[in-house]
Chains A and B, each alone.
Chain A
Amino acid sequence: GEDVEQSLFLSVREGDSSVINCTYTDSSSTYLYWYKQEPGAGLQLLTYIFSNMDMKQDQRLTVLLNKKDKHLSLRIADTQTGDSAIYFCAVPGGTSYGKLTFGQGTILTVHP
């Protein structure tokens, strides 16, 4: 099955850029997703990228996709304390309709 890996922790200062990395194994994925989860809450879709794109920018968020290396990254510019959360990379996996396989999540901590 699909395997999705993320680093567990990232700590940055307010105003700096954050880069969260993700690797996956299934090369047939069409869309790849980033979700954000605040403490005690559900998952919020942040952004996604179609697999024929290398980059997608959405305000402070930039997604980079290296399909050859099966590497996905999320860059948050001008990181704010409100960005502190867990960020999940998610990749379609298996034959089930809409089944997403999530990475284990990266805990982003933003220091003032």
Chain B
Amino acid sequence: DAMVIQNPRYQVTQFGKPVTLSCSQTLNHNVMYWYQQKSSQAPKLLFHYYDKDFNNEADTPDNFQSRRPNTSFCFLDIRSPGLGDAAMYLCATSGLKSGNEKLFFGSGTQLSVL
């Protein structure tokens, strides 16, 4: 089945140790997003790729970077994780047909920072 896959499901890292979260999709969607969701809060958009064009949200910290080597894969890099970066990270895709911003989400990666 076509889907959005995130790996790993749970990630534990140490304070200040770089970590990379992965997302892949078989939907052939041109837009891929990374959202951060802290406990009991709404998902917050960090950035997105429209094809190869990277779009950063104004309030996304520099500590967060992203790479999209091809249509199917997108990575979230956290250069120096702090305790406040512990959260669920959600990858989503969209085909943006007819102005319908219907997003398809992966199951998320729960990041813990020790």
Contacts and interface: CB of A to CB of B under 8 A. Distances in A.
A102 B48 contact: no
Contact of B103 (A4, A100, A104): A100
A102 B108 CA distance: 16
Given A43-B105, A44-B105, A98-B33, A104 B41 contact: yes
Nearest to A50: B100
Contacts, number: 71
Interface residues of A, number: 24
B20 to A, nearest CB: 19
Interface string A86-104: 0010101000111110111
B64 interface: no
A48 B107 contact: no
Given A98-B31, A98-B33, A42 B106 contact: yes
A59 interface: no
Chain A contact residues: helix, strand, loop or mixed = strand
Contacts of B106: 42
B30 to A, nearest CB: 9
B101 A42 contact: no
The 7 closest A-B pairs by CB, nearest first: A102-B42, A42-B105, A98-B101, A43-B105, A98-B94, A42-B107, A42-B108
Given A43-B92, A96-B45, A97-B101, 14 more contacts: A31-B100, A43-B43, A43-B90, A92-B101, A96-B48, A97-B96, A98-B31, A98-B48, A98-B101, A99-B101, A100-B45, A104-B41, A105-B40, A105-B42
